[in-house]
Structure 1
Amino acid sequence: MTAIEISSPERIGVPDHRWEDLRLGDTLCSPGITVTDAHLVSWAGLTGDIVSLHLDEQYAATTQFGQRIAHGPFTLSTALGLITQTGYFSNVVAWLGLDEVRAQQPVLIGDSIRVEAELVATRLTKKTDRGIWTFSYTVRNQRSEPVMTFQSSFMIRRRAA
């Protein structure tokens, strides 16, 4: 009988991605989420963004969209949240902001959205343990149509020299 060697199981935790782990042109792809009535109602309650276009079916039916649509800031925030699920943001020191936010199409209840975030700029900072990533985000619906685009920048830890 031959002895079987069993190694210890690997301990797995939060990925340790750093500034050096991505290169210009790399694109992160998020999982998706299907937008529901609960998302819109919760968002309105959390933010006070209580607008008939998002919450009143009767009113929304009379608009150009013919139905309720998701709040633009909801779509933006959800996109930022979805992309963090890729595991590349565990070493963020600071979120630096947004630029060029454009809503291109409405997000409807029942739409499934996903995010592609392309690394379009990187730079070092004065502090040698940090760098900056700037991503160009495209939020797409289930038909792969862009519904929102924007850029967002983060300060992220670097590996020790």
Structure 2
Amino acid sequence: MTADAVTDAPRIIGRPDLYWDDLVVGDVLRGPGITISEAHLVTWAGLTGDTVSLHLDEEYAATTQFGQRIAHGPLTLALALGLITQTGYFNHVVAWLGLDEVRASRPVVLGDTIQPEAELIKARRSSKPTQGIWTLAYRAINQRGDAVMSFQSSFMISTRS
């Protein structure tokens, strides 16, 4: 640190303020991971009303092909969408436009850590000059590097200009 640095105004660093213009097709965003716990399953079931035994009943789940409880598919999808927002690229969402091609390829069990990746596969200006549309191909990946879910999602995002 220089002597002058003490008198300079501090830099304030927070979440990046990014827009539609800041990604190009082929860019891949990686969000933070999260380890799936009992609390996730119980909270999701209470929030959504999805109380299927495969997710909540250890005795029943032990008799299934999975041998144990698994996370709700929509929970995995919601976590992938939510964790990607922590990258800072979704501060200027105008609208969420929907999901396509949702596939659950492997079960997510208690103790699994999932991490989302989202590749920008399409980017175009909307009919409004201050907005653009992104279509991202998401993958939720477990701690072993296996894709457990994939889907596409589209968003309308503000542009810088």
Q: Smaller-chain TM-score range?
A: over 0.9
Q: Please tell me whether the aligned partners of residues 31 and 115 of structure 1 are also in contact (alpha carbons under 8 angstroms).
A: yes
Gaps of 5+ in 2: none
**Matching residue of 1:43:** 44
Written as runs of structure 1 = structure 2, the 5 A alignment for 1:11-26 is 11-26=12-27
Identity percentage over the alignment?
65
Q: Deviations over 1:116-142 (max 9, x none)?
A: 100000010111000001100011100
**Which residue in the other structure is 1:5 paired with?**
4
**SS of equivalent residue, structure 1 residue 109:** coil
**In structure 2, the residue corresponding to 1:85 is in which secondary structure?**
helix
Structure-2 residue corresponding to 1:69: 70
Aligned counterparts of 1:36 and 1:131: Cα–Cα separation in 2? 37
- Matched residues in 2 for 1:123 and 1:136: separation? 15
Q: Does 1:145 align with 2:146?
A: yes
Match of 2:115 in 1: 114
**Partner SS, residue 4 of structure 2:** coil
Please list, as runs of the form range in 1=range in 2, the aligned pairs for 1:75-114 lying within 5 A after superposition: 75-114=76-115
What's the TM-score, normalizing by structure 1? Answer: 0.96
Amino acid at match of 2:46: G
Partner amino acid, structure 1, of 2:119: E
One-letter code aligned to 1:17: L
Q: Which amino acid aligns with 2:24?
A: R
Does structure 2 retain, via aligned residues, the 8 Å contact 1:35–1:109? yes
Q: Deviations over 1:77-133 (max 9, x none)?
A: 010011011111001111111000000000000000001100000010111000001
Q: Distance in 2 between matches of 1:102 and 1:12?
A: 37
SS at match of 2:78: helix
Q: For the Cα contact (< 8 Å) 1:94–1:156, is it kept in 2?
A: yes
Deviations 1:37-81 (A, max 9, x none): 110000000000001000000000000000000000000001001
Deviating above 6 A after TM superposition, structure 1's stretches of 4 or more consecutive aligned residues are: none
Q: Contact 1:14 / 1:90 at 8 angstroms: preserved in 2?
A: no
Structure 2 counterpart SS, 1:117: strand
Count matched residues.
Answer: 158
Q: 2 CA distance for matches of 1:141 and 1:103?
A: 12
SS at match of 1:10: coil
Q: Which shows bigger deviation, 14-23 or 56-65?
A: 14-23
Tell me the CA shift for residue 5 of structure 1. Answer: 1.0
Letter matched to residue 122 of structure 1? A
Q: Give the RMSD, CA atoms, in angstroms.
A: 1.0
